[in-house]
Chains A and B, each alone.
Chain A
Amino acid sequence: MKEKENKEKEEKPRHPLSEVFDMYIRNFSAVCAMFVLIVIIILAIFGPSLYPTDPFEMVWMPFSPPGQEGFLLGTDYLGRDLMAGLVHGARVSILVGISAAFMSVVIGITIGALAGYYRGTIEEILMRLTEFFQVLPTLLFSMVIVALFGASLPMIVIAIGLVSWTAVARITRAEFLRIRELEFVMASRASGASDFRLIFSVILPNALPPIIVQAALMVGSAILFEAGLSFLGLSDPNIVSWGQIIGSNRQYILDASYTVTVPGLAIFVTVLAISLVGDGLNDALNPKLRRR
């Protein structure tokens, strides 16, 4: 296996990304998951124009079960079309997931990189800060933020991003601690590269693979997190998301369980796809770490 790879390398130097792609394509479940994810994203982008029914509008009798009266997934307690809610909610759920994950990756990389690069007192302080955020019960903390500062979409993104960066910070720090001692970093340092340059264009690109995997997983966790907050009623009431549908229907599970189980299934499938893609990326980006 290894010999074969080495031979290929000798024959023609390949772009590293094409190697990653080759590794990824071999993983059957990761490829399926990627396919599912692409369908969901297309649905999120174009769905609302293909299925323009207003998810807030009362279109039919409340609690009409799925498959009848022309409404594929039935209607909720206010007679709103559940399918419209799912299609329109996909965009918000995924958008919140991506923005919150992006925010926590930025915070996590900054803190982890500074701690791993400068060591000493800075590392001590930043790692204590990380531990502090690990101790705070994350959901309760974001509930407090959203409850005190208002349940708008940006505030929800901030509340999620603010509590979920600790894993990224720890991974980034560990990578920086390892890479900063390597020879090519010494070489750049010796040739007079500034700290900023060393951190962001010498060490960081080499530390990225595990961070990318973590970031992918975090999009999934952020979607779950948003759903949890919405389930507790902490969502923007004027914007439909999957969690918000569940939250507003949860009192009626005795009458119409599908209003809760179907959006939950959408979340489950999306997050499952994201996590399988994450696993596939992990295997493709870190072939050496691959176990079994």
Chain B
Amino acid sequence: MKLVFAVIQRVFYAAILLLAVIVLNFFMMHLAPGDIADSIAQTMGGADEEIMKEIRADYGLDKPFLTQLGQYIFKVAQFDLGYSYFYTQPVTTLILAKIPATLLLVITSQILALIVGVLLGVQSAKNPNGISSFVVSMLALFGYAAPVFWTGILLLIAFSLKIPIFPVAGMYDVMVEGSFFVEALDVLKHLVLPVVTLSSIFLALYSRLCRASMMEVLGSDYIRTAKAKGLSRNEIIYKHALKNALSPVITLAGLQLSAVVSGAVLVEAVYSWPGLGTLAFNSILSRDTPTILGILFFSSLVVIVGNLLTDLVLRLIDPRMRGSE
């Protein structure tokens, strides 16, 4: 019951955050030089004052500010984010077509970073002066300092140009056609480099935190009890300690979500991955304001929903979190 209440509270809070994003979008739209009428006029090749007035009336731009804000929130709540004059499509349709590719990239790279990061972290906690500790420290330095697009380009040069194992760009090969399995394998092949690039930033973060929290947990009383019981080292670490050492790592992973989405934008640009980032890149080049703002809205939605899910996972694996509400 407590859990249900806490979840409802979190969902309510997430809705408020989303509302704030919508309001921010609206303000940016208003503060930016030029409005919808201007951009329509531009695609029409110019329009006189009369027509501009008509367009503004059509879009309700002559109404008072607060009315416009209310109407905008109402529209966005129904997922109506306007129309892209560049792509001649509703923004929502456009974005929904691109979201799966970005989600695939973001989720796969987070899972990879978490698994490898935790394994590395555990290894180096077991052996603080060993080689894995060194790897973790080096990764942490590299992960922080290397521009993600640069890492991507280096990997691209190494594994697509010099040693052509992986495809250079995109998500599918037009030539590959066949059963679902064949096509999935093709996507997987395209996915490898972008995922490795994106996870390189977070791998370092997670492994460092996992090492620290694992070392802390290993020093606690119940671990000594487990040792005294005569359990093997691996049993203690993977069955008893890991569960507790994991929750700060998952908390951090949740906090990193907005950084992951940001990183995905750059990685997509490097590998021409057909997701939100590439769309954002193209719509900024073509000054397609409704689409840009739509992407900001949907990517914030992804982060907010992701945070909500992280919170739920934490509550499920860590009973201490449930008690604290």
Residues of A participating in the B interface, judged by any CB pair closer than 8 Å: 131-132, 134-141, 143-145, 147-149, 220, 224, 227-228, 231-234, 243, 246, 250, 253-254, 257, 260-261, 264-265, 267-268, 271-272, 274-276, 291-292
Interface centre among A134, A144, A257, A274 (most CB of B within 10 A): A144
A14 to B300, CA, bound (A): 51
Given contacts A140-B261, A271-B145, contact A261 B153 (CB under 8 A): yes
Can you list 6 residue pairs at the A/B interface with Cβ under 8 Å? A135-B17, A136-B303, A137-B265, A148-B28, A149-B31, A231-B149
B300: A residues at CB distance < 8 A? 135-137
The answer on a CB contact under 8 Å between A268 and B295 is: no
A144 to B298, CA, bound (A): 13
A132 to B150, CA, bound (A): 29
Given contacts A132-B17, A143-B265, A232-B284, contact A272 B258 (CB under 8 A): no
Residues of B participating in the A interface, judged by any CB pair closer than 8 Å: 17, 20-21, 24, 28, 31-33, 128, 141, 144-150, 153-154, 156-157, 161, 212, 255, 258-259, 261-263, 265-266, 269-270, 280-281, 284-285, 287, 289, 292-293, 295-296, 299-300, 303-304, 307
A265: B residues at CB distance < 8 A? 150
A257 to B17, CA, bound (A): 43
The answer on a CB contact under 8 Å between B21 and A233 is: no
B265: A residues at CB distance < 8 A? 137, 139-140, 143, 232
The answer on a CB contact under 8 Å between A224 and B147 is: yes
Given contacts A132-B20, A149-B33, contact A232 B157 (CB under 8 A): no
For the complex with contacts A233-B281, A233-B284, 16 further pairs of A-B residues with Cβ separation under 8 Å are A132-B21, A137-B262, A137-B299, A140-B261, A144-B293, A147-B284, A147-B289, A148-B292, A232-B281, A246-B150, A257-B161, A260-B150, A261-B153, A264-B146, A268-B150, A271-B145
Given contacts A147-B284, A292-B128, contact A140 B295 (CB under 8 A): yes
Q: Taking CB as reference atom, which chain B residue is nearest A271?
A: B145
Q: Taking CB as reference atom, which chain B residue is nearest A133?
A: B258
The answer on a CB contact under 8 Å between A250 and B153 is: yes
B259: A residues at CB distance < 8 A? 137-138
Given contacts A261-B154, A268-B146, contact A147 B287 (CB under 8 A): yes
Given contacts A149-B32, A268-B146, contact A232 B303 (CB under 8 A): no
B255: A residues at CB distance < 8 A? 134
The answer on a CB contact under 8 Å between B28 and A144 is: yes
A145: B residues at CB distance < 8 A? 28
The answer on a CB contact under 8 Å between B156 and A267 is: no
A271 to B147, CA, bound (A): 9
Given contacts A144-B28, A145-B28, A232-B269, contact A268 B285 (CB under 8 A): no
A274 to B149, CA, bound (A): 19
A137: B residues at CB distance < 8 A? 258-259, 261-262, 265, 296, 299-300, 303
A221 to B24, CA, bound (A): 24
B110 → chain A closest CB, angstroms: 14
B145: A residues at CB distance < 8 A? 220, 224, 268, 271-272, 274-275
The answer on a CB contact under 8 Å between B141 and A275 is: yes
A187 → chain B closest CB, angstroms: 35
Summed over the interface, the residue pairs from A and B with CB atoms below 8 Å come to a total of 136
Interface centre among A134, A143, A220, A268 (most CB of B within 10 A): A143
A143: B residues at CB distance < 8 A? 265, 280, 284, 292
Of B154, B270, B296, which one neighbours A140 at CB under 8 angstroms? B296
B42 → chain A closest CB, angstroms: 15
Of A136, A148, A261, A276, which one neighbours B289 at CB under 8 angstroms? A148
Of A138, A253, A267, which one neighbours B262 at CB under 8 angstroms? A138
B269: A residues at CB distance < 8 A? 231-232
The answer on a CB contact under 8 Å between A228 and B149 is: yes
The answer on a CB contact under 8 Å between A134 and B289 is: no
A135 to B19, CA, bound (A): 12
A140 to B293, CA, bound (A): 9
The answer on a CB contact under 8 Å between A140 and B262 is: yes
The answer on a CB contact under 8 Å between B304 and A135 is: yes
A260: B residues at CB distance < 8 A? 150, 153
A234 to B285, CA, bound (A): 9
Interface centre among B128, B258, B269, B289 (most CB of A within 10 A): B258
A253: B residues at CB distance < 8 A? 153, 156-157
A227: B residues at CB distance < 8 A? 147, 149
B76 → chain A closest CB, angstroms: 15
A272: B residues at CB distance < 8 A? 141, 144-145
A125 → chain B closest CB, angstroms: 12
A60 → chain B closest CB, angstroms: 23
A264: B residues at CB distance < 8 A? 146-147, 149-150, 153-154
A261 to B157, CA, bound (A): 10
The answer on a CB contact under 8 Å between B266 and A139 is: yes
Q: Taking CB as reference atom, which chain B residue is nearest A229?
A: B266
Q: Taking CB as reference atom, which chain A residue is nearest B260?
A: A137
B304: A residues at CB distance < 8 A? 135
The answer on a CB contact under 8 Å between A228 and B296 is: no
B148: A residues at CB distance < 8 A? 228
A219 → chain B closest CB, angstroms: 12
Given contacts A137-B261, A139-B266, A267-B150, contact A144 B157 (CB under 8 A): no
B298 → chain A closest CB, angstroms: 10
Interface centre among A141, A220, A272 (most CB of B within 10 A): A141
A156 → chain B closest CB, angstroms: 14
B29 → chain A closest CB, angstroms: 8
Of B128, B150, B261, which one neighbours A261 at CB under 8 angstroms? B150
A148: B residues at CB distance < 8 A? 28, 31-33, 289, 292
